[in-house]
């Protein structure tokens, strides 16, 4: 496994853990200060406020867990991109939705952060 892949997947593990633990502050810190989130059926969400709104949407929809699966990860220097799939699980373990995503990652002094997060629902 490449170093880049392991670094990105480590951040994804923290993302999934923050959702599972309902840790909004840890979740928001995973995004760059000037992040842009492009979610299905919504206007673009920006920065920390956008990440907070995304996090709040999990609770509103009864999502207790997100499972991310990286399919491709490539990058150079302080930029990387990832293509993957996701599953959203409810409190009872039922699948509430499946999707696919593209993330543009930015590496800064705090390591890799989600800079552009583009989601599409599959079901």
Give pLDDT, residue 1: 62
**Two tokens at 107?**
């590496």
Nearest to 79 by CA among 52, 54, 113, 47: 113
With a CB cutoff of 8 Å and minimum separation 6, the contacts of 91 are 62, 64
- The range of the structural domain enclosing residue 98 comes to 3-121
**Two tokens at 50?**
């956008």
Task: Provide the number of structural domains found in the chain.
Answer: 1
Per cent of the chain over pLDDT 70 is: 99
CATH code of 93's domain? 3.10.450.50
Count CB-CB contacts under 10 A for residue 80: 20
Per-residue pLDDT for 84 more than 70?
Answer: yes
The structure's pTM equals 0.94
Tens digit of each residue's pLDDT (9 = 90 or more) over 2-57: 899 999 999 999 999 999 999 999 999 999 999 999 999 999 999 999 999 999 99
CB 111 within 8 A of CB 28: no
């Amino acid at each position: 496994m490449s170093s880049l892949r392991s670094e990105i997947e480590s951040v994804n593990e923290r993302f999934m853990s923050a959702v599972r633990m309902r840790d909004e502050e840890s979740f928001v810190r995973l995004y760059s200060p000037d992040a842009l989130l492009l979610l299905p059926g919504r206007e673009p969400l920006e920065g920390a406020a956008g990440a907070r709104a995304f996090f709040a949407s999990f609770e509103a929809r009864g999502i207790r867990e997100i499972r991310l699966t990286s399919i491709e990860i490539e990058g150079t220097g302080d930029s990387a991109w990832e293509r993957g799939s996701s599953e959203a699980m409810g409190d009872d373990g039922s699948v509430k939705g499946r999707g696919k995503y593209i993330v543009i990652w930015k590496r800064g002094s705090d390591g890799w952060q989600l800079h552009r997060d583009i989601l599409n629902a599959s079901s």
